Amino acid sequence: VRVDVHFAPAVVTAADMHGRVVVVIDVLRASTTMAVALHNGARNIIPCESSDEVVVRAKSFERRDVLLAGERRMVAIPGFDLGNSPREMTPAVVGGKTILLTTTNGTGALLATQGAREVVVASYVNFSAVLSMLRAATRGDADIAIICAGKDRTFALEDATCAGHFVRGIKRRRDSVVLGDGAQAALLLDRRYAQDLGSLFNDAEHARALANAGFGDDLQVCAAVDSCPVIPIYADRQVVRLGSERER
Amino acid sequence: VRVDVHFAPAVVTAADMHGRVVVVIDVLRASTTMAVALHNGARNIIPCESSDEVVVRAKSFERRDVLLAGERRMVAIPGFDLGNSPREMTPAVVGGKTILLTTTNGTGALLATQGAREVVVASYVNFSAVLSMLRAATRGDADIAIICAGKDRTFALEDATCAGHFVRGIKRRRDSVVLGDGAQAALLLDRRYAQDLGSLFNDAEHARALANAGFGDDLQVCAAVDSCPVIPIYADRQVVRLGSERER
């Protein structure tokens, strides 16, 4: 079994994903927001490339069944129901709804996973749930590719560090795991920050930018390990909770 | 002063380099090979995108003045004078010569540096020499961008770790340095491996591949910190030693 970590979707090719279980990580905030929404009863999430696509797709739903959500430069898109803050995804708001979501980095990473055997959306809030699924996959000899959404096409410290947490978890029960260079590096980041996510969010530029933009409380939510034990699976262009009915 | 580390040329944009002093690192082996060649008396090195370009450019020189050099999949290109091994760059072979060089990763990274204020080619063998130049640049308030050549467009552990060694060196004398996420991560890699490059080359996939391909002795040369105290500057499409006449 082989585990690779890619630090930006831009460097990932179809060959990197072919036949693998792919994990997409955007800790701040898309992955976290999706996990919180599904945990709080959202029916499904449809990642969209643009706010235009959100608006177009919304027309195929009853207005009361959908929520238009997304951000650009961290702030909610004007006219949308929601931004990209996990704190907005309360049971009262998202219960039973389809969320059409576009974000700067995370949704693009999901849309780049074609050819994967299975795609799961991961963050700290659903760490153990996703890890259990990955361990099952490696017992079936599936290779794993972890894709960090990053920021603006490049490396983001918090995504790489969270990827390292998964690498450590996968490796713990299996000595025979082969780690690519990215996975080796991610492990070292996890060793530094796993016990101190506050310090991770001090060092990570996007975390500081969020705090400066008034989203400091979001960081607490994003650092709450295992607070939302869901396994969000991306298939057929939507993200649903594993075990839920995939109906639309 | 700001220091950013980019883990793959593919994610670097012109804006990332504009006005900066740019450091290009390909520890295994192009950066090392260039430093060794210049240290041993090569007149200059001309990075080429392809073996075809090497052949075409060679025609504008007297045959005795040039060496055709390069590799694909680690092995010397058939018909060329040299591969990409630093051990081939002896004074007797390279003295006074122009080297036309094409490699899988390193030369492409150099060709992607347009817009930079200055470009320097760095590795462990010329660490302190290049660091002295970077410190001078930061005293002049220049921002630094370190570009890791990586392997096949993606992250390479040895380049990222060497980048971290430079970040640590730049930071040592200046508290006011702002580190991007990539620079933070590279620092942690350097902390792990700086005193143990043997272990770095055990963990790095490309180092293992070189050893398996019979280039294990090259790893020793690439790990010989400060063995070639030259500052290779890339300008006008050629790499020359800082302080040498830039004549052709």
The amino acid at B171: K
Q: Tell me the nearest-neighbour CA distance from A209 into chain B, angstroms.
A: 12
Contacts of A10 in chain B (CB under 8 A): 10-11
- Cα A49 to its chain centre, rounded Å, is 15
As given in the structure block, the two tokens for residue A209 are: 């930018």
CB-based contact B204 A181, cutoff 8 Å: yes
Q: Give CA–CA dist B132/A136, Å, rounded.
A: 51
Q: How far is CA A121 from CA A93, A210, B188, B233, in A?
A: 21, 21, 27, 44
Q: What angle do CA A41, A42, A45 make, to 5 degrees?
A: 150
Asked whether the CA dihedral B192, B193, B194, B195 is positive or negative, the reply is: positive
pLDDT of chain A along its 248 residues, tens only? 999 999 998 888 889 999 999 999 999 999 999 999 999 999 999 999 999 999 999 999 999 999 999 999 888 999 999 999 999 999 999 999 999 999 888 788 898 898 999 999 999 999 999 999 999 999 999 999 999 999 887 899 999 999 999 999 999 977 789 999 999 999 999 999 999 999 999 999 999 999 999 999 999 999 999 999 999 999 999 999 998 755 33
Could you say which of A7, A180, A192 has the minimum Cβ distance to residue B7? A7
Q: Tell me which DSSP letter residue B154 carries.
A: B
Residues B176, B178: Cα–Cα separation, whole Å: 6
Partner residue facing B153 (CB), from A11, A153, A192: A11
Do A153 and B184 count as a contact with CB atoms less than 8 A apart?
Answer: no
Test the B interface: residue of A146, A184, A191, A192 with most B CBs within 10 Å: A184
- Cβ distance A185 to B156 less than 8 Å, yes or no, reads no
Res A152: pLDDT: 80
Q: What is the pLDDT of residue A245?
A: 55
Q: What value of ipTM does the predicted structure carry?
A: 0.92
Chain A hits for B11, Cβ within 8 Å: 8, 10-11, 153-155
- pLDDT tens profile B150-193: 988 789 999 999 999 999 999 997 778 999 999 999 999 999 99
Residue contact A8–B6, C-beta within 8 A: no
